[in-house]
Amino acid sequence: MARIAIVDYGIGNLRSVERAVERAAVDAGVACTAVITADPDAIERADHVIVPGQGAFRDCATALARGIGEVLLRQIRSGRPFLGICMGLQMLFDSSDEAPGHRGLSLFAGRNVRLLGGQRDPVSGQIVKIPHMGWNQIELCGKGHPFLEACGGSGTHLYFVHSYNAVADDRSIVVATARHGPFEITAAVARDNVFASQFHPEKSQAAGLALLSAFVRS
C-alpha cells in the first residue's frame, strides 16, 4: 500500500487536500494511506509527497529552515513523486518579494513576484482584481505534462487563489500558464519527478481529482 505524506508546515487547508487525495485514490483504483504529518521521518518514508499551502512565504521559509526543507530535497533527489500546491510551488524557487531575505528550496532558479493591483485588462479595460481568485483556464506549454493531460489539457478551468506569481529563470520547466488580465501566470511547473501547480487541484472539482488520480498512480 502506497504511503502519501501531506506535509504540515503550519499553513494550508490540509484536510481538504487529504479528502481529495483519498477520493482520487479510489477513482484511480490505488490502495494508499494519506497522512498529514510534520514528522521528518514519516515524510522520508513516504512513497509520494504532497506539499500544499495557502499563506505567507515567510512562514513557509521558516519551516523549511527548521529541517523540513532538507527532508523534502532528499525525497525529491530520491526520485519519488512530489506534488506542490500553491505555496508548495512557490517554495521551490529561490525567494519571494513577499518576504525579502527569506529563502525557498532553490530547486528552481527564479523568484515569486507580486501581482500589482490597479492594472487593467487589455481586452475589457476593467481593473483586474488581486488576489487572482477563482476559476481560470490553463494553456499547456511545450510538451505539457501527463498530469495536465489527465485533467483535460489546454482550456481546462482550475481554481486559483494567489497574489504572487513564480517567475522561472528556466522557462522550460513551465508546463502550463494562465492569463489574468495583463499578467501571464505560471500555472504549473515540472521537472523529472517534481510537479507543482499554482492552482488548487483539491478545489477544482472533477478536473482536480483527475490530476490527483494521475499523481497517485505515478
Average of pLDDT values for 121-141? 95
Active site residues: 86, 200, 202
How confident is residue 123, by pLDDT bands cut at 50, 70 and 90? Answer: confident
Chosen CATH of 2-217 out of 3.40.50.880, 3.40.190.290, 3.40.50.970, 3.40.50.10490: 3.40.50.880
Percent of the chain with pLDDT over 90: 86
Mean pLDDT value across residues 57-65:
89
Please give the Cα distance from 63 to 57 (Å, whole number).
Answer: 10
Closest-CA residue to 150 (of 107, 197, 111, 108) = 197
Q: Which residue has the higher pLDDT, 80 or 65?
A: 80
Alpha-carbon distance of 157 to 35, in angstroms, equals 28
Q: HSE on the CB side for 75, CA within 13 Å? A: 28
205 backbone φψ class: left, alpha, beta (φ>0; ψ -120 to 50):
left
The pLDDT score that the predictor gives to residue 143 is: 86
- Report the relative pairing of strands 32-37 and 164-168 from DSSP bridges: unpaired
User: In the predicted model, what is the mean pLDDT of residues 77-81?
Assistant: 97
144, three cell numbers: 505539457
CB 67 within 8 A of CB 49: no
Q: Indicate the pLDDT class of residue 23, thresholds 50, 70 and 90.
A: very high
Q: pLDDT at residue 16 above 80?
A: yes
Instruction: Kindly tell me if the per-residue pLDDT of 146 is higher than 90.
Output: yes
Assess whether pLDDT exceeds 80 at residue 12.
Answer: no
- Mean pLDDT over residues 74-100, rounded? 96
Q: How confident is the model at residue 112 (pLDDT cuts 50, 70, 90)?
A: very high
Average pLDDT over residues 6-15: 85
In the chain, how long is the greatest CA-to-CA distance?
Answer: 53
d(CA 206, CA 135) in angstroms, rounded, equals 13
Write down the pLDDT at residue 11.
75
Predicted pLDDT at 10: 80
Q: For residues 181 and 123, which has the higher predicted lDDT (pLDDT)? A: 181
For residue 67, what pLDDT band results from cuts at 50, 70 and 90?
A: confident
Local confidence band at 34 (pLDDT 50, 70, 90 cut-offs) = very high
**Joined grid coordinates for residue 84:** 506542490
Mean pLDDT of the chain: 95
Q: Flag whether pLDDT at 202 surpasses 90.
A: yes
* CA 19 from centroid of its chain's CA atoms: 17
Give me the pLDDT at residue 83, please: 98
- pLDDT at position 9, please? 85
* Residues 49 and 80: beta-carbon distance below 8 Å: yes
Cell of 168: 522561472
Domain boundaries, the chain: 2-217
pTM for this predicted structure: 0.96
